[in-house]
Amino acid sequence: MLNYIAIVALMVGILVLAYIAQLYTVKKEREVFNQGVTIWADIIEVRIDEGDCIVRYRFIEPQSHKKFERSGVIGFLLENPPQEGEKIQVKYLPRNPHWSRMVGEIKIASS
């Protein structure tokens, strides 16, 4: 009987540690995202695929002037999808521009 209690306690302990690790990871991702810089990017392609609006965008990193291309899903804009040539807000990390993400609340501006 004591063995079963020890096994259950060990399993609960592992689950608690996994939950704490997940919370820590989410917090770190949020901190990294908040350190990013928000800039405008050019939309170069818009596709509708199985109900998702997939946008491919290009932005120029302000410090090095290098061009980067990324894509992301914005399914909640299906009623009025963006068009190629419009601009979309993107958040990226200045130290690692390969890591970029569209801003949570998408803002689109006509060019």
pLDDT at 111 over 50: no
Reported as a single tens digit per residue, the pLDDT across 3-36 is: 899 999 999 999 999 999 888 877 766 666 566 6
Identify the pLDDT of residue 32.
60
Per the document, the length of the chain is 111
Q: Are 87 and 55 in contact (CB under 8 A)?
A: no
Q: Which residues pair with 105 in a beta bridge?
A: none
39 contacts: CB under 8 Å, gap ≥ 6: 59, 62, 89, 90, 91, 92
86 contacts: CB under 8 Å, gap ≥ 6: 42, 43, 108, 109, 110, 111
Reported as a single tens digit per residue, the pLDDT across 29-80 is: 666 656 667 778 888 888 877 777 777 888 777 667 777 777 776 665 556 6
Q: Quick check: helix, strand or coil at residue 58? A: strand
Identify the pLDDT of residue 95.
59
Identify the pLDDT of residue 14.
95
Identify the pLDDT of residue 104.
47
CA torsion sign, 55 to 33 to 37 to 97?
negative
Closest to 101 measured CA to CA, from 71, 62, 58: 71
CATH code 1.10.3470 for 37-109: no
Give 2 or 31, the one with higher predicted confidence: 2
Identify the pLDDT of residue 11.
96
